[in-house]
Amino acid sequence: MRVRVASILGFTAVTALLLPACSPTSTTAKPATAPSPRASTPAATERSEAPLSSTTLATRLLSESDLGADYVQKAERPAQHDDVTIVGCPALDKLGDAAMGGSLDFPRQAKVTFTYASGSSSEVSEELYSDAPAKLSTNTGRIFGAISSCPTYQVVSGSTAVDIRTQKSTAPKLGDEQWSQFLTFSAGGRDSIAKQTAIRDGNLLLVVSGSPALVDRHVAKALAKATR
């Protein structure tokens, strides 16, 4: 089973992306290399908390030239959040729109998705959000906390039901705050595993989702470009 993966942080939530085709996938990738630490200067420590515009965020997303010839950018499909029900996770159910793909009041955002190795089913997506640091921290922690509180639950969309298992993962020590998790989607006797890592750095939130190897490979690079 192949599950189209994007952010689970409510923004373009997994609950709205669940469905289509079936084909397991594996990807081998080199581990990520963390960016060099920031210099200890007033310019580095006294960061502006004013949110960045969506236009500015879009210029800081990874591109095909950043990733290499094996990656092809995908056209984004319109989000679809109707007729989706969460079963077995009251914490997510209480979040309402946030769990179904709402914006969580982060209007300043930009997103890109890539397919790896032309025609394979491995994908990696990057999302950038900007808001007051306290708001990013509170809302992101709330969503990850809700998901981790339910080791198993089910998402039903129309006549399709997908079982989901969640597991916390160790996040790279980047930025000011980090969250990471594995999600296993099961339907029709087949499993698909995705990883999602979120990094808050000041007034910017980075979310990288998709094939676990691709997430690990590119999260540091994505943060370095986003916080340039």
Per-domain boundaries in the chain: 14-25+49-226
CB 137 within 8 A of CB 200: yes
Quick one: which of 20, 137, 161, 191 has its CA closest to 85? 161
The per-residue b/e assignment along 63-87, b for 16 or more CB within 10 angstroms, e otherwise, is eeeebeeebeeeeeeeeebeebebe
Neighbours of 129 (CB within 10 A): 31
pTM: 0.80
What pLDDT is recorded for position 157?
79
pLDDT of residue 20: 40
- Residue 46 pLDDT: 53
Q: How many residues does the chain have?
A: 228
Measure the CA–CA gap between 50 and 39, rounded to whole angstroms: 21
CA distance 124 to 79: 17
Which pLDDT tens digits describe the chain residue by residue (228 residues)? 444 434 444 333 443 344 343 333 434 444 334 444 444 334 444 566 789 999 999 999 999 999 988 999 998 766 555 567 888 998 887 876 555 554 456 889 999 999 998 666 689 999 999 999 999 999 899 888 888 899 999 988 788 888 999 999 999 999 999 999 999 999 888 888 999 999 999 999 999 999 999 999 999 999 999 998
- Asked if CATH classification 3.30.1330.10 holds for the domain at 14-25+49-226, the reply, yes or no, is no
